[in-house]
């Protein structure tokens, strides 16, 4: 078989140029869209673990008596599960306030850490002002405009380094709404007394609202009302991954050019040997 260079060039040239033009056009393969939830709000839960939370004045659906913390856990667990799109953080407080979970979209972490809390683990007193102050520090790194603190307590402030109203004023300046939920019997006295007026002043100062939960049913109604007050507006970021394909036509074009020159080199060698032995 005799290979003619001009015939092969005419055959390969348009193919190679087409491949190079296609490579310059930088074709891409577009994958299926991927959606990512963008947090709509940062919600900090501050839960009272003081000694007065041991009062067993809540009833479960079977009529069994629960202490105040058990009731809060049951209802708050369901509340957290419905907060799709919210980053949730958890602070526990007694005589001191501690950050248990920073803001996260992994709600299972918040629910598990809440379940592990125990009465008295943060001290026997009630430092409401310190809990608000610690929340403000947690919000400092937040870039989400909607910021909400939900303060759940059954007692009056007995051990704060920063007065609760002072902390509330600071929250208002940072545009953080505080919703207070008073847990337990408002007629209680001593350490179990609920300072409803102080809790109302805290929420009012920040543009939030104050609620009373005297039993488990009342606590559930509070969370339903909070759902209505703070609706979730989910934001999703959708993008389609792109994979470049230009290297396929480019590689094929280079391979054809290399193959052509290799073939022409072999052809020249064969012709040389034929003339030598003629």
Instruction: Using 50 as the pLDDT threshold, list the residues of the chain that sit under it.
Output: 1-3
Read off the DSSP letter of residue 155.
S
Give the pLDDT score at 56. 84
Read off the DSSP letter of residue 3.
P
Give the pLDDT score at 81. 83
Q: 1: Cβ–Cβ under 8 A, 6 or more apart, which residues?
A: none
Tell me if residue 37 falls in helix, strand or coil.
strand
Give the pLDDT score at 192. 61
Q: 152, exposed or middle or buried, with CB in 10 Å at 0-12, 13-18, 19+?
A: buried
Helix axes 164-173, 196-206, angle to 10 degrees: 20
- pTM for the whole thing? 0.69
CA–chain centroid gap for 235, Å, is 12
Q: 162: Cβ–Cβ under 8 A, 6 or more apart, which residues?
A: 129, 130, 132, 133
């Amino acid at each position: 078989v005799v290979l003619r260079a001009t015939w092969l060039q005419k055959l390969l040239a348009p193919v190679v140029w087409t491949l190079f033009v296609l490579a310059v056009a930088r074709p891409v393969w577009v994958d299926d869209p991927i959606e990512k939830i963008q947090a709509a709000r940062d919600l900090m839960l501050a839960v009272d673990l003081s000694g007065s939370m041991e009062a067993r004045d809540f009833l479960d659906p079977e009529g069994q008596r629960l202490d105040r913390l058990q009731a809060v856990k049951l209802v708050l667990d369901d509340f957290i599960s419905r907060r799709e799109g919210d980053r949730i953080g958890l602070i526990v407080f007694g005589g001191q306030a501690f950050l248990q979970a920073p803001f996260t979209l992994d709600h299972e972490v918040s629910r598990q850490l809440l379940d592990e809390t125990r009465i008295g683990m943060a001290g026997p007193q009630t430092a409401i002002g310190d809990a608000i102050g610690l929340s403000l520090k947690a919000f400092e790194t937040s870039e989400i405009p909607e910021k909400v603190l939900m303060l759940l307590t059954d007692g009056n402030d007995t051990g704060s380094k920063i007065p609760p109203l002072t902390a509330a004023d600071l929250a208002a300046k940072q545009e953080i709404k505080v919703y207070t939920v008073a847990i337990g019997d408002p007629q209680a006295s001593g350490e179990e007394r609920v300072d409803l007026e102080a809790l109302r002043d805290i929420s009012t100062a920040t543009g939030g609202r104050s609620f009373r939960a005297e039993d488990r049913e009342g606590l559930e109604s509070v969370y339903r009302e909070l759902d209505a007050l703070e609706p979730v507006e989910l934001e999703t970021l959708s993008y389609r991954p792109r994979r470049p394909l230009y290297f396929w036509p480019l590689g094929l074009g280079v391979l054809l050019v290399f193959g052509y020159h290799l073939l022409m080199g072999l052809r020249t060698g064969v012709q040389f040997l034929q003339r030598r032995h003629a």
